[in-house]
Structure 1
Amino acid sequence: MPLYAYRCDEDGPVDVLRPMGAATPTVPCPSCGADAARMITAPRLGGADRDRVAAIDRAEASRTEPAVVSAPPPRPARPSPRLDPRTAALPRP
């Protein structure tokens, strides 16, 4: 659930958890009861886990500085199929 920021003229910032898109233009301040207006703030991406932040950084870097490669990546080795012991004596091509 997103965290929406509001500002009360008397008590300062107020944070409210609401479902996505359910934020109202004003909410009552929990301290004084006056209307607190909604503020527009930057997304809080710093609170994400390290893997997500690393993925965002890689995607951003690849947009402006794509990696230069000299050859396609090697094909992964295919595991050999497990042979059925009942067919082990059959000739193989």
Structure 2
Amino acid sequence: MPSYSFRCSAGCRFDARFAMSEVPAETVCRVCGAEARRTITAPHLSRAGTAAFGLLDRSARSAHEPEVVDRLPARAPGRAQRTTTNPLHAKLPRP
């Protein structure tokens, strides 16, 4: 459930969790008991710890510290090299 911020006329601020379909525009203040209105806040968009965050971190790191290779990676044994039948691929430079 998302968390929503509320503020009453006395200046009290608090967060409350509601389902998106049931969030009220006003609720009772948990501190002083007055009517509190929902306020606009920045969304929480952190994806720290996910695969997407790791990918972003690795790509940023490679911009400053690129990995240097001196040869092509070895092919797995028993796997044949892929061949193409497209005649346009024959015009491409070979490594």
Q: What TM-score results when the alignment is normalised by the length of structure 1?
A: 0.51
Aligned residue pairs, count: 64
CA RMSD across the alignment: 3.3
* Pairing of 1:12-91 with structure 2 (within 5 A): 12-46=12-46, 48-51=47-50, 54=53
Residue ranges of structure 2 left out of the alignment (5+ in a row) = 58-75, 80-95
State the one-letter code of the partner of 1:14: F
By how many angstroms is 1:11 displaced? 4.3
Q: Tell me, in whole angstroms, the C-alpha distance in 2 between the residues paired with 1:5 and 1:49.
A: 23
Q: Does the 8 Å contact 1:8/1:14 carry over to 2? A: no
Relative distance call for 1:7 and 1:49 in structure 2 (3 A) is same
Q: Tell me, in whole angstroms, the C-alpha distance in 2 between the residues paired with 1:16 and 1:49.
A: 23
Relative distance call for 1:52 and 1:37 in structure 2 (3 A) is farther
- Provide the residue aligned with 1:89 in structure 2: none
Segments of 4+ moved more than 6 angstroms: none
Q: Tell me, in whole angstroms, the C-alpha distance in 2 between the residues paired with 1:24 and 1:56.
A: 38
State the one-letter code of the partner of 2:49: R
Q: Does the 8 Å contact 2:5/2:39 carry over to 1? A: yes
Q: Tell me, in whole angstroms, the C-alpha distance in 1 between the residues paired with 2:13 and 2:33.
A: 13
Identity level (%): 32
Give CA-to-partner distance per residue, 1:14-52, whole Å, 9 cap, x none. 111111221111010012110001001111113x43216
Secondary structure of the residue that 1:54 maps to in structure 2?
helix
